């Protein structure tokens, strides 16, 4: 804080209050810019959803939830999101372990491939999955002959969600694993614990918050995913119609011969979105705790 | 960096017939096997989920032949779709980049009641389904929307036109720059800036000469992530665009319509082009991320 004192001296006592940090004017213009930006772009649209959805009580919500295929869309979305979180929780942890702890040729390449879903448009991800696992391809045809339809069926939805959320658990676990003190593991090893026991008793407990955070993010991302899913799901009401696709149909009911409208869509959106937002906030808590521990 | 225990065991003198050594080398062999298995399992997962599908799309796009590829890229609809995607991406990245720096400065350096709320608002777009983002724009600017009378009176078309497509893309890209720049700013502290002020530099000079160079890799990383998101957005844009062929159709929406109309070849070709571009972007993302991490340490 030596700079602060020097600055105050230089400018004299009159500007003491404004002198030390960026002046009050600068601070308030920054704040003003930030608040205006977030207020207009984030808060206002959310307010619109709430007002239009619940402006006349719960009527819109009940109408939305009783329309054709609503409950099954929500159930399917929840199930798929849960499976995605579990599967990518496990494989994401494995990938993070392999990337951090094992040296092998092509490690950098594998790390880049894990990030690929961040870069690839989700709709293109859907097209990729159809190209490989669709009924007209060799692989998809083989599975179909053996009684398993992948594309235009729930397994396709699951694959799309796994693709889109692949980086989340890996990137959440990786830094924690890299920071982890290896002495404890070596101690466990010396005491005769096998690799699996060491992982289960020493490594896994330390990674648990990071795995949970990544899996929760994957879950909430899966609840809302549209681009990849709409392409592979087939969108058959009560069978492969997910909640986000259901909402698009609710916005323009005339296109799909259903009932509803933007207000009904707003009500059911508010519900889903409140749930997903709560999950993201919980995740932030999980992530911020260990990092605070490190900086302390 | 300490070498893993099994490797040390392997280096232990061989030829010595004592039992402990032999047991240890057997142990090392097993550890190596387990590690090879773990790598194989990880590779298999990525292969099934990402790499083989990528090969699949490449095969179908190239199978149709050079003629079809040339024909696809001479279609005005396709060219316009790519043009629209580029415009939306540039505007969204510039807006979220500029305002992102401002919000990051406030989050990293300012203290005020309700700061947690602001930080939560920044994360909010990560939680919202793109479809819901599109719905928000419809509720604000569509028929019966809050601002519809105002813009209708001015004769400005928002929904089913470019402005709403840009607005929803900005909403979706908001968190990326802020999430990457704020931690870098926190890590850096204010010493260098204070030194610059003490030496008589103005606030703007300090920002462009000191702050911006310090955060540049984090900023570029965030902007690359935003670009990827902006190019790939489909749900929100689908809802607000009205899907007017050749007018409000972005590259991803073109792919969507191509397959709906059984023009699979064109769909695969445009999809592969988008994928190729995102792989280029990924190389940028990886480079910027590494530099940003290095700069922070």
Structural domains in chain B, sorted by start: 5-62 (no CATH), 69-296 (1.10.3720.10)
Q: Residue A42: CB partners within 8 Å, gap ≥ 6?
A: B121, B122, B124, B125, B171, B174
State the CB neighbour count (10 A cutoff) for residue A83.
17
Of A102, A115, A230, nearest to B39 by CB-CB distance is A102
Task: Answer whether A187 touches B (CB < 8 Å).
Answer: no
Whole-angstrom CA distances from B237 to A277, B226, B282 are 21, 15, 23
Task: Answer whether A85 touches B (CB < 8 Å).
Answer: no
Confidence of residue A291 (pLDDT cuts 50, 70, 90): very low
Backbone CA torsion sign across A50, A52, A57, A62: negative
Higher pLDDT pick, B216 / B25: B216
Confidence of residue B86 (pLDDT cuts 50, 70, 90): very high
Task: Answer whether A78 touches B (CB < 8 Å).
Answer: no
Confidence of residue B89 (pLDDT cuts 50, 70, 90): very high
Query: Quick one: average pLDDT of A129-140?
Result: 90
Optimal mutation site among B81, B235, B249, interface A, most CBs of chain A within 10 A: B235
**pLDDT tens-digit profile of A148-194?**
899 999 999 999 999 999 999 999 999 999 988 888 888 888 888 87
Q: B264-296 and B212-232 helices cross at what angle (nearest 10)?
A: 160
Task: Answer whether A8 touches B (CB < 8 Å).
Answer: no
Whether residue B169 is predicted with pLDDT greater than 90 in this model: the reply is yes
Taking CA A98 as the corner, what is the angle to CA A93 and CA A99, rounded to the nearest 5 degrees? Answer: 100
Residue of B nearest to A269 (CA): B132
Optimal mutation site among B171, B197, B268, interface A, most CBs of chain A within 10 A: B197
Query: Quick one: average pLDDT of A124-141?
Result: 91
Task: Answer whether A286 touches B (CB < 8 Å).
Answer: no
B234:A122 CB<8 A: yes
DSSP string, chain A: -HHHHHHHHHH-GGGHHHHSSS-HHHHHHHHHHHHHHHIIIIIHHHHHHHHHHHTTTTHHHHHHHHSTTHHHHHHHHHHHHHHHHHHHHHHHHHHHHHHHH---TTHHHHHHHHHHHHHS-HHHHHHHHHHHHSTTSHHHHHHHHTT---TTSHHHHHHHHHHHHHHHHHHHHHHHHHHS-SHHHHHHHHTT--HHHHIIIIIHHHHHHHHHHHHHHHHHHHHH--HHHHHHH---TTTT--HHHHHHHHHSHHHHT----HHHHHHHHHHHHHHHHHHHHHHHHHHHHHHHHHH-
B2:A182 CB<8 A: yes
Q: What is the pLDDT of residue B20?
A: 59
Burial label for A54, CB within 10 Å (0-12, 13-18, 19+), is middle
Whether residue B70 is predicted with pLDDT greater than 70 in this model: the reply is yes
Q: What is the pLDDT of residue A296?
A: 29
Confidence of residue A12 (pLDDT cuts 50, 70, 90): very low
Whether residue B7 is predicted with pLDDT greater than 50 in this model: the reply is no
Higher pLDDT pick, B162 / B13: B162
Range from A73-82, A244-253, B71-80 carrying the lowest mean pLDDT = A244-253
Distance from CA of B15 to the nearest CA of A (A): 24
Q: What is the pLDDT of residue A286?
A: 77
Confidence of residue B188 (pLDDT cuts 50, 70, 90): confident
Query: Quick one: average pLDDT of B49-70?
Result: 92
DSSP code at position B114:
T
Q: Please, what's the b/e burial string for B221-249 (b: 16 or more CB within 10 A of its CB; e: otherwise)?
A: bbbbbbbbbbbbbbbbbbbbbebeeeebb
Higher pLDDT pick, B65 / B80: B80
Confidence of residue B21 (pLDDT cuts 50, 70, 90): low
Q: Is B156 helix (H, G, I), strand (E, B) or coil?
A: coil
State the CB neighbour count (10 A cutoff) for residue B75.
15
Query: Quick one: average pLDDT of A71-99?
Result: 95
Whether residue B4 is predicted with pLDDT greater than 50 in this model: the reply is no
Distance from CA of B139 to the nearest CA of A (A): 6
B235:A244 CB<8 A: yes
Of A52, A159, A244, nearest to B131 by CB-CB distance is A244
Q: What is the pLDDT of residue B297?
A: 63
Whether residue A199 is predicted with pLDDT greater than 80 in this model: the reply is yes
Stretch 204-233 of chain A: residues touching chain B, C-beta under 8 Å: 217, 220-221, 223-227, 230-231
A110:B59 CB<8 A: no
Optimal mutation site among A34, A134, A194, A198, interface B, most CBs of chain B within 10 A: A34
A230 contact residues in B (CB cutoff 8 A)? 234-235, 256
**pLDDT tens-digit profile of A32-49?**
999 999 999 999 999 988
Query: Quick one: average pLDDT of B123-132?
Result: 88
A132 contact residues in B (CB cutoff 8 A)? 52-53, 55-57
Q: Closest Cα partner for B163 from B222, B102, B84, B228?
A: B84
Q: B115-127 and A262-295 helices cross at what angle (nearest 10)?
A: 120
Q: What is the pLDDT of residue A7?
A: 40
Query: Quick one: average pLDDT of B282-295?
Result: 83
Q: A70-101 and A204-224 helices cross at what angle (nearest 10)?
A: 140
Residue of B nearest to A189 (CA): B5
Query: Quick one: average pLDDT of A83-96?
Result: 97
CA distance linking residue B82 with residue B67, whole number of Å? 20
- A-B contacts (CB, under 8 Å): 277
Confidence of residue B170 (pLDDT cuts 50, 70, 90): very high
Of B41, B137, B282, nearest to A94 by CB-CB distance is B41
Question: How large is the ipTM?
Answer: 0.84
Q: Are A210 and A88 in contact (CB under 8 A)?
A: no
Of A94, A227, A230, nearest to B42 by CB-CB distance is A94
Of B105, B132, B142, nearest to A273 by CB-CB distance is B132
Residue of A nearest to B110 (CA): A27
Of A52, A124, A132, nearest to B271 by CB-CB distance is A124
State the CB neighbour count (10 A cutoff) for residue B22.
13
Query: Quick one: average pLDDT of B239-258?
Result: 89
Of A3, A251, A277, nearest to B127 by CB-CB distance is A277
Whole-number average pLDDT of chain B: 87
Q: Are A124 and B255 in contact (CB under 8 A)?
A: yes
B198:A273 CB<8 A: no
Stretch 121-160 of chain A: residues touching chain B, C-beta under 8 Å: 121-125, 127-129, 131-133, 137, 139, 159
A224:B118 CB<8 A: no
Task: Answer whether A40 touches B (CB < 8 Å).
Answer: no
Q: What is the pLDDT of residue B11?
A: 43
């Amino acid at each position: 804080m030596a700079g602060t004192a020097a600055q105050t001296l230089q400018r004299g006592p009159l500007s003491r209050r404004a002198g030390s940090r960026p002046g009050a004017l600068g601070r308030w213009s920054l704040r003003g810019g930030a608040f205006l930006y977030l207020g207009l772009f984030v808060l206002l649209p959310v307010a619109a959803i709430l007002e239009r959805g619940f402006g006349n009580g719960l009527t819109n919500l009940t109408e939305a939830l009783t329309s054709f295929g609503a409950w099954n869309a929500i159930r399917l979305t929840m199930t798929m999101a849960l499976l995605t979180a579990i599967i990518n929780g496990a494989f994401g942890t494995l990938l993070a372990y392999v990337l951090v702890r094992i040296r092998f040729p092509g490690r950098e390449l594998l790390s880049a491939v894990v990030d690929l879903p961040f870069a690839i448009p989700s709709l293109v991800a859907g097209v990729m999955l159809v190209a490989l696992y669709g009924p007209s391809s060799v692989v998809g045809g083989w599975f179909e002959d053996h009684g398993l339809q992948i594309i235009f069926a729930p397994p396709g939805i699951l694959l799309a969600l796994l693709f889109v959320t692949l980086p989340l658990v890996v990137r959440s676990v990786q830094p924690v694993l890299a920071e982890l003190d290896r002495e404890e593991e070596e101690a466990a090893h010396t005491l005769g614990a096998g690799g699996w026991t060491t992982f289960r008793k020493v490594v896994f407990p330390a990674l648990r918050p990071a795995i949970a955070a990544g899996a929760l993010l994957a879950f909430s991302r899966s609840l809302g995913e549209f681009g990849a899913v709409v392409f592979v799901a087939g969108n058959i009401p009560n069978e492969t119609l997910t909640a986000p696709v259901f909402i698009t149909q609710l916005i323009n009911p005339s296109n799909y011969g259903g009932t509803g409208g933007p207000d009904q869509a707003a009500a059911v959106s508010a519900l889903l979105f409140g749930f997903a937002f709560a999950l993201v906030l919980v995740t932030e808590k999980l992530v911020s705790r260990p990092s605070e521990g490190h900086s302390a | 960096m300490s070498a893993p225990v099994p490797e040390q065991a392997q280096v232990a003198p061989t030829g010595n017939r004592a039992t402990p050594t032999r047991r240890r080398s057997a142990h090392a062999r097993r550890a190596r096997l387990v590690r090879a298995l773990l790598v194989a399992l990880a590779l298999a997962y990525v292969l099934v989920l990402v790499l083989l599908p990528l090969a699949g799309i490449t095969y179908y796009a190239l199978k149709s032949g050079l003629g079809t590829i040339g024909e696809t890229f001479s279609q005005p609809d396709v060219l316009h779709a790519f043009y629209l995607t580029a415009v939306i991406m540039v505007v969204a990245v510039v807006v979220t980049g500029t305002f992102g720096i401002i919000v990051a400065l406030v989050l990293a350096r300012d203290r005020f009641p309700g700061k947690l709320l602001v930080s939560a608002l920044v994360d909010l777009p990560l939680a919202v389904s793109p479809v819901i983002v599109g719905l928000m724009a419809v509720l604000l600017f569509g028929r019966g929307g809050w601002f519809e009378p105002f813009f209708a009176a001015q004769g400005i078309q928002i929904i089913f036109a470019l402005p709403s497509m840009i607005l929803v893309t900005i909403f979706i890209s908001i968190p990326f720059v802020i999430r990457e720049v704020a931690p870098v700013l926190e890590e850096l502290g204010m010493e260098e800036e204070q030194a610059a002020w003490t030496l008589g530099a103005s606030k703007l000079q300090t920002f462009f000469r000191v702050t911006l160079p310090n955060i540049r890799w984090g900023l570029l990383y965030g902007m690359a992530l935003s670009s990827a998101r902006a190019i790939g957005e489909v749900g929100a844009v689908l809802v607000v665009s009205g899907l007017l062929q050749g007018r409000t159709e972005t590259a991803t929406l073109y792919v969507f319509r191509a397959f709906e109309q059984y023009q699979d070849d064109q769909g695969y070709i445009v999809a592969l082009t988008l994928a190729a571009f995102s792989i280029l972007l990924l190389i940028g993302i990886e480079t910027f991320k590494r530099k940003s991490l290095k700069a922070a340490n």
